Structure 1
């Protein structure tokens, strides 16, 4: 009972910290880009967004080691085997510091080549300087902080790095909002922003040294990180899918298209981050259960999370689908010469990211089980579909083409994960997934069908809020009724078991 209580306590702390971190990141994600758009224009906003995406590609050099390290730590942490923990920690730290050095070379090449292929009002030197400044934060993460974060995550203490990061983001938003609206040069703003983000990895390093007193041991890479090349495919697939749209638009469209894409991306990615926050403590929870070989408990718990994630994902993305055009109209008010209202594009973006949401719980369990090599094919096919369809689509349909490429590739990978999980890890019928998707589709169609006939416009945040509240309540009502009809037996069973356990 004590073990279950501690596991539940850590899960709740991780979830709450993730949600707090999410709220702060979302606020930052809307406040700072909006300030950039107003103060510097869509071109500079698109430029900074594009540079950030290009630098994000360096994360593929992790080769999936982050997830592999976390999975490798579950067993020794459970057994309190300090020697094994030290070996894994040393191997991971050595690997990530090599990445940091490679990142320096990558940043130099990007600083030289990127200004040659982009059209902007800034000089080549200024663009190169922006790249170097923005790269500073990523370098510090790899060199100082990532290994410590993974250790705490595996030990079900993700709330510690999350709270530290949350404080850093709050400080960053407060300082940089003032600087941006004061129209301080964008390079100065980025210097201040990325300097503040150097603090969390340093603080984490000090905390881990005092809390765990790890004795570094050699020889951990061959034993514990041997599956890193299997994790490589999984990781690079995620990086490519996350960045392909922005990169293709940058190279084959215009910075204006990048800016339009990014505004919608802010909205749908906000929901994705929220779902990731909910799932933040689930992977180590699954990992702990798998290590203890409590498979019956795993199957029951997974079904609960599957229903919960389907319910929450559907409510959130259906609400976004009904409201996103109204929000974009208010968010971009006063910005001229750019048509931000893109109805068809908004539908494709929402559906694409909804599929990300539905996949979250399935892929989380696959990662917790360490099944990287076994699921490589699905990752490769997703990448190929995404690149090919987006590349062809951008020439014929522009923004719609890249969104369609993402929707098709993500949908394929979601189905692949469902099939693999059902057959190889929890051994159950796939009808659970199709039943869930049927319920989700009904909610989408009914809610969108009703709200699209509402003849309401939003010209301020207050009027948007007046529209958003009844819309969200309608979606909540529809989703609750549909899920209540589809899952009434499971809900009654879970309620009965919970009531029985409380009486014992």
Structure 2
């Protein structure tokens, strides 16, 4: 199977999975809100976020391992593949032990840093159950996942994840409406997630010549600790809002945050899903020194991310408040209608997506050490601004801190990439940002006359569809003015494919 076909399969499978994630994310938290209340929803979200540090396994050394696997996979160097795979498995076992200690510490410490609305045993038992679920998702079988990702076979685990996700939602819905406790609901999810590593291990053993006896004499993974440090910083950045809200606010505030985050993260993961195969493709190009192909691909990649993110997140900012009104109908224990918060959250998620092309190339080129300082500065900026503003502004304050810090890191990576890896003109990036702002303003103005209904999902969906169609039209017109060549290339390829079909 060639690279183009694998990219297509990876993208389609990723999009299917992310659509299911969005649907699941709408169904289960909604039921938790209705059956257990905002405080339980906030507690579950807070605990999951604290345990999310376990995902350093995937976001930290995982990115470094993938980058180190690109070349041996391209060269079909089986010995090197085995050395990296076996070293990675041992490395993860050591980190897994450390993270298990972190979970135990969290069980004893967490109940004393929250406002005491729930009993200690209630919270501690919930931490244990959710930690099992998180470990099943992010730790067990992670080396198999990384091997498939590096070999441009992400579609295997995306399809597998889709099946497991659907099964988990069906079981969770049944247990919630049947009156079972939140502990039983989360325990069922933990058991179901153990299917993932089992199936992945069977697939890898049947399709790869993995031998445990092939051990490297020295560490075969370059810049592993730089990758861990950088992505630990990213993880702190990603969890800063919840950390600050847990310390300085209430579970109800966390629940409010979680609903808005549910919406913007759903859109963000959809954007990420559409680029699922690009990381391994770019890594393959770098491994083969295809510099011109890489530069051409990156230009289109960067442009595509900007126009799609601007379109989707401007539309999200317009629609988010009416949606939240519908989603939280029947929930009266907290005020979920915060327009300014919704707008800033949408802006922050858009900028995070703008960062994606630059971060993808930096990681694929193994430039972890060179960009490490900026990765550490990003969460520091977020923490400082969020702590200062959270007392007066609440969730709006932490959203501002996130937006400012993400913007800093995005601009830094764009400058670094243009000067050190692909040698692109930074003026092109600023032009894209300028076009983004023009597009967003025109979309808001063009759709301001539409009255968005909050009476139900059907009427809201009809309004959303109309707004999306108008915004797509504006996006096409704006890009015909500023990026006519890219639009023409897309149209020409579409016509050629249509004629061939």
In the TM superposition, residue 217 of structure 1 has moved relative to its aligned partner by 4.7
In the TM superposition, residue 455 of structure 1 has moved relative to its aligned partner by 4.0
Q: Tell me the equivalent position of 2:297.
A: 301
In the TM superposition, residue 457 of structure 1 has moved relative to its aligned partner by 3.5
In terms of mean alpha carbon deviation, does 168-177 or 140-149 score higher? 140-149
Distance 1:450 1:103, change over 3 A: same
| Structure 1 residues 366-405: aligned runs within 5 Å | 366-405=362-401
In the TM superposition, residue 224 of structure 1 has moved relative to its aligned partner by 2.4
2:149 to 150, 153, 163: 153
Residue 204 of structure 2 corresponds to residue 204 of structure 1: no
Residue 484 of structure 2 corresponds to residue 488 of structure 1: yes
Query: Retained in 1: the 8 A contact 2:58–2:142?
Result: no
Q: Tell me the equivalent position of 1:123.
A: 119
| Structure 1 residues 10-409: aligned runs within 5 Å | 10-60=6-56, 64-119=60-115, 121-141=117-137, 143-217=139-213, 219-220=215-216, 222-409=218-405
In terms of mean alpha carbon deviation, does 111-120 or 46-55 score higher? 111-120
In the TM superposition, residue 246 of structure 1 has moved relative to its aligned partner by 1.0
Aligned equivalents of 1:456 and 1:159: distance in 2?
Answer: 37
Query: Retained in 2: the 8 A contact 1:67–1:367?
Result: yes
Aligned equivalents of 1:352 and 1:430: distance in 2?
Answer: 21
| SS of corresponding position for 1:64 | helix
Query: Retained in 2: the 8 A contact 1:96–1:142?
Result: no
Aligned equivalents of 2:186 and 2:491: distance in 1?
Answer: 51
Aligned equivalents of 1:313 and 1:372: distance in 2?
Answer: 25
In terms of mean alpha carbon deviation, does 139-148 or 406-415 score higher? 139-148
Aligned equivalents of 2:437 and 2:143: distance in 1?
Answer: 41
Query: Retained in 1: the 8 A contact 2:18–2:273?
Result: yes
Task: Please list every run of 5 or more consecutive structure 2 residues that lacks an aligned counterpart in the other structure.
Answer: none
Query: Retained in 2: the 8 A contact 1:68–1:231?
Result: yes
Task: Please list every run of 5 or more consecutive structure 1 residues that lacks an aligned counterpart in the other structure.
Answer: none
Residues 370-424 of structure 1 deviation map (CA, whole Å, 9 limit, x = unaligned):
1111111211221211111111111222111100000000001110111011111
| SS of corresponding position for 2:2 | helix
Root mean square deviation, CA, Å:
2.1
Residue 397 of structure 2 corresponds to residue 426 of structure 1: no
In the TM superposition, residue 232 of structure 1 has moved relative to its aligned partner by 2.0
Aligned equivalents of 2:268 and 2:172: distance in 1?
Answer: 25
Query: Retained in 2: the 8 A contact 1:286–1:365?
Result: yes
Structure 1 residue runs of 4 or more that deviate by more than 6 Å after TM superposition: 494-503
Distance 1:498 1:423, change over 3 A: farther
Aligned length: 500
| SS of corresponding position for 1:373 | coil
Aligned equivalents of 1:132 and 1:496: distance in 2?
Answer: 55
Query: Retained in 2: the 8 A contact 1:103–1:139?
Result: no
Distance 1:103 1:502, change over 3 A: same
Residues 157-186 of structure 1 deviation map (CA, whole Å, 9 limit, x = unaligned):
011011111100000001111111222111
Query: Retained in 2: the 8 A contact 1:241–1:386?
Result: yes
Query: Retained in 2: the 8 A contact 1:144–1:205?
Result: no
Normalized against structure 1, the TM-score is what?
Answer: 0.95
Distance 1:63 1:496, change over 3 A: closer
In the TM superposition, residue 501 of structure 1 has moved relative to its aligned partner by 12
1:461 to 457, 460, 470: 457
Aligned equivalents of 2:310 and 2:58: distance in 1?
Answer: 32
Query: Retained in 2: the 8 A contact 1:383–1:409?
Result: yes
Aligned equivalents of 1:63 and 1:35: distance in 2?
Answer: 30
Aligned equivalents of 2:246 and 2:344: distance in 1?
Answer: 19
| SS of corresponding position for 1:59 | helix
In terms of mean alpha carbon deviation, does 122-131 or 47-56 score higher? 122-131
In terms of mean alpha carbon deviation, does 99-108 or 466-475 score higher? 99-108
Aligned equivalents of 1:141 and 1:239: distance in 2?
Answer: 16
Aligned equivalents of 1:346 and 1:84: distance in 2?
Answer: 48
